[in-house]
Amino acid sequence: MRVRDGVVLRLARAEWGQLYDTVRPALLRERRRAIPLALTAVGLTALLHFVHGQPWGYGFVQGIGAVRAEDPLWLALLRTPLSLFVPALDLPVWGGLLQILVVFGISEICLGRRRTLAVAYLATLAGTLYARVGVALGPDVLFGLPASDGRVVDTGPSAAVVGLAVFVGRRYRAYVTAAAVVVAMVVEVLLKQNLAGKEHLAAIAAVLVVCAASEWRQRRSAVRPDSTAGVSGAPPIQS
């Protein structure tokens, strides 16, 4: 039993060790002040969910944060930032709020607020634009969508959560966790064939492109000083 526990701990440490070593000290040192963005996102999502569920608030929230592929592009882009915080009424809100708190909180500590918002917006925008392109292509084309999907409201915060989970998992070497998120989204599409699942995959694809570009740039910057030193015969200048 102890051997098995030791193996589990080693596997957990290999998967989440870097994340744990980054997140835990920040939370112990600053507590809630370490994740103001995540707390704001949770509060805004909860508020919009409450307002959205009221007869007097449904139209208001739809007008400022509901994005559909059939909407004019300028209107969709205008609503997209706030659409990150408009949850679907047919899904349990508490599970979504917990996901936002955990994923946004970890991302905020690991990536910083600006990069967390940038990745979240990129993931949401990728899903939004995919739905628009897919409907334009039509159901007879690979990755195309039926016209009825143009009237479906976009995913809300879930695309941002999925994108951030994959981005942080890749960046902090939690590869199994990132792969599990990808597999879960693929299974969702295979089982449900819904727009939300396909938008999640589009969000993941956009995030993986950013990860690949970032890793390629880091490799180039790491190789460049060595190649310069080899040509000139002099060590790189140190500041």
Q: Are 64 and 51 in contact (CB under 8 A)?
A: no
The confidence score (pLDDT) of residue 225 equals: 57
Q: How far apart are the first and last CA of the chain?
A: 53
- CB atoms closer than 10 angstroms to residue 150: 17
7, 85, 160 from 107: Cα distances, Å: 28, 16, 11
Q: Using CA atoms, how far apart are residues 224 and 140, in angstroms rounded to an integer?
A: 47
CA angle, 41 then 44 then 48, to 5° = 135
3-state helix, strand, coil in the chain (%, to 5): 80, 0, 20
Residue pLDDT tens, the chain, 239 long: 555 667 788 888 888 889 999 999 999 998 888 999 999 999 999 999 899 888 899 889 889 888 999 999 999 999 988 888 887 766 678 888 999 999 999 999 999 999 999 999 999 999 999 999 999 999 888 888 999 888 888 878 899 999 999 999 999 989 999 999 999 999 999 998 888 889 999 999 999 999 998 888 888 887 765 544 444 444 444 43
26, 67, 120, 160, 169 from 80: Cα distances, Å: 31, 7, 11, 11, 25
CA atoms within 13 A on the CB side of 228: 9
CA atoms within 13 A on the CB side of 190: 6
Largest CA distance in the chain: 74
In the chain, where are the structural domains located?
2-219
pTM for the full model?
Answer: 0.85
